[in-house]
């Protein structure tokens, strides 16, 4: 069922998929800070637009920006 949920998310969100946050975290851990910060900002903005600012995924994306 997890695979089906992920496929559905990608169908609905397309390039706005929350996996972008995971990529930003990876970049951050590899000390690619400018790329990580830019990706986190984009991710947060897109998730707010799609899911709303109060959604847990949007809040998760916001935490590293504070």
Q: What is the pTM of this model?
A: 0.62
Cβ neighbours, 10 Å, residue 19: 12
Residue 58 confidence (pLDDT): 81
Average pLDDT, the chain: 77
Q: Which pLDDT band holds residue 34 (cuts at 50, 70, 90)?
A: very high
Q: Does residue 31 register a pLDDT over 90?
A: yes
Q: Does residue 60 register a pLDDT over 90?
A: no
SS (H, E, C) the chain: CHHHHHHHHHHHHHHHCCHHHHHHHHHHHCCCHHHHHHHHHHHHHHHHHHHCCCCHHHHHHHHHHC
| CB-based contact 27:64 (threshold 8 Å) | no
With tokens 């929350």, the residue in question is 18
């Amino acid at each position: 069922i997890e695979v089906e949920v992920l496929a559905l998310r990608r169908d609905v969100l397309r390039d706005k998929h929350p996996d972008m946050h995971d990529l930003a975290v990876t970049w951050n851990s590899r000390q690619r800070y400018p790329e990580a910060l830019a990706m986190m900002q984009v991710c947060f903005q897109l998730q707010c637009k799609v899911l709303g600012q109060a959604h847990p995924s949007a809040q998760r994306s916001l935490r590293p920006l504070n």
